[in-house]
Structure 1
Amino acid sequence: MKNEKLLTLLKILGVFTCLYLFLIGIGGMGAAFKGEFKDTAARLLEATKSPIVGLFIGILATTIVQSSSTTTSLIVGLVAAGAVD
């Protein structure tokens, strides 16, 4: 019984540790984008004023990286960096 409680506690601690590391990674990605891609993102946003064009650029980006999770994380990083409003 004591081992089960310890395993449960370790699993919960592991989940929170992974969540923390994920958020640290998103913050780091945002900081990297702030310095490198802010101007590029601004130009891309100017080109995609139409929602339809933005949709197709999103589909293209997701297709290129083969992962919607990666694309979403990149967008979150850009928003965190202040490059995307």
Structure 2
Amino acid sequence: MANIKSQKKRILTNAKSQERNKMVRAEIRTRVKAALAEGDPTGEAARAAVKRIDSAASKGIIHKNTAARKKSRLVKQLQSSAS
């Protein structure tokens, strides 16, 4: 454990943001699974998944290239299953 007061506070705030980020990543996985279960590329579940991925990327929770890759793979899977 750190001796410096500001570092102790930093450790606590990092833990809080880590928990929030973990919840967002879990939500992204859940929404992607729901979109795949629905199977419609233009459906509500697919739109919600893409929206959540974009939101996480804009907040810096996931990298923008990771978000682009996830969206690309999702749409590709949805289009192949719809055909």
TM range (shorter): 0.3 to 0.5
| Higher relative contact order (CA closer than 8 Å, sequence separation 6+) | 1
For normalisation by structure 2, the TM-score amounts to 0.47
For normalisation by structure 1, the TM-score amounts to 0.46
Which structure is larger by alpha-carbon Rg, 1 or 2?
1
Structure with more helix by fraction:
1
